Amino acid sequence: MGRLEGKRAIVTGAGSGIGRASARLFASEGAQVVAVDRNAAGVSETAELARKEGFEILALSADGGSENEVVDFIGKAVAHLGGLDVLFANAGISGGLVPLFEQTVEHWQEVLRVNLIGPFLAIKHGAPHMVKAGAGSIICTASVAGLRANAGGNPYSASKAGVISLVQTTAASLYGTGVRVNAICPGLIETGMTKPIFDGAKERGTEDKIGQLNPLRRPGQPHEIAAMALFLASDDASYVNGQAFPVDGGLSSS
């Protein structure tokens, strides 16, 4: 029996990387999954990959930072699933590295809109279904960048520190409801978001230097974050609430 047997899950940012790996893992562990991404082709490909593995995933295309679209995808997902047990608010953008004095308000607003307001909206419109049922697990993807400085990535780090606070304050707000909420703080993971880093290193022939800052001396893979998401989504984590967990090869503690 799978670890998410009978659970109904939404995964955002599921058209690539960590979200895709998590949607496929959740489905393979028995969950009914709705995968959401603003990249329609990406999220369809996730569903196609799952189908080849023998699992049906419903793919929806939506912008997780737009309240109308969040209301729409949560409504469609809950109607399809018949309820909601797991909400993985994972969609995010890096915003790139821009020198501090060249950063614009528009740049900050877009990074905060997608990375911080997006998870807030998913919680605002998703959590009531869980509160009604008296149980549920919400997981947000933060970052080690929300725990430590990341020069040039100021809005990204601020958005991810905000996600950690969102998780803590949401756990407090959901006092007594039975709904848990936690964050994962990935280190450097090889995904679409970090492709420029990996491609650049390949071009320079410095590929073996990537990830050397953490004690495991390698970057992580999406399935290694999905494994933590699976744990937090499952009843194995039934007493885990209001926390942010680094999954970073030891980067944040070294």
Residues that bind ligand NAD (CB under 6 A): 12-13, 15-19, 37-39, 42, 63-65, 90-93, 114, 118, 141, 143, 186, 188-189, 191-194
Angle at 193 between CA 165 and CA 161, to 5 degrees: 15
Who's near 66: CB < 8 A, 6+ residues apart?
none
Contact 97, 153 (CB under 8 A): yes
The minimum distance between CB 37 and ligand NAD, in angstroms, equals 5
Residue with tokens 């659970």: 7
CA neighbor of 145 nearest in space, from 191, 101, 93, 100: 93
Both tokens of 25, joined, read: 């893992």
Contact 229, 184 (CB under 8 A): yes
Judged by beta carbon, residue 15 or residue 249, the one nearer ligand NAD is 15
The minimum distance between CB 131 and ligand NAD, in angstroms, equals 24
The minimum distance between CB 40 and ligand NAD, in angstroms, equals 9
Task: Identify the bridge partners of residue 87 per DSSP, sorted by sequence position.
Answer: 10, 138
Both tokens of 236, joined, read: 């194995």
- Helix residue spans in the chain (DSSP H): 17-28, 40-52, 67-81, 105-112, 118-133, 154-173, 195-204, 222-233
Question: Is residue 239 annotated as a catalytic residue, yes or no?
Answer: no
Judged by beta carbon, residue 38 or residue 180, the one nearer ligand NAD is 38
Judged by beta carbon, residue 132 or residue 217, the one nearer ligand NAD is 217
Judged by beta carbon, residue 27 or residue 89, the one nearer ligand NAD is 89
The minimum distance between CB 222 and ligand NAD, in angstroms, equals 6
The minimum distance between CB 239 and ligand NAD, in angstroms, equals 25
Contact 102, 147 (CB under 8 A): no
Q: Measured on CA atoms in the order 164, 99, 216, 49, is the torsion positive or negative?
A: positive
Residue with tokens 């969609």: 91
Of residues 26, 73, 88, 156, which has the active-site annotation?
A: 156
Judged by beta carbon, residue 108 or residue 177, the one nearer ligand NAD is 108
The residues annotated as belonging to the active site are 156
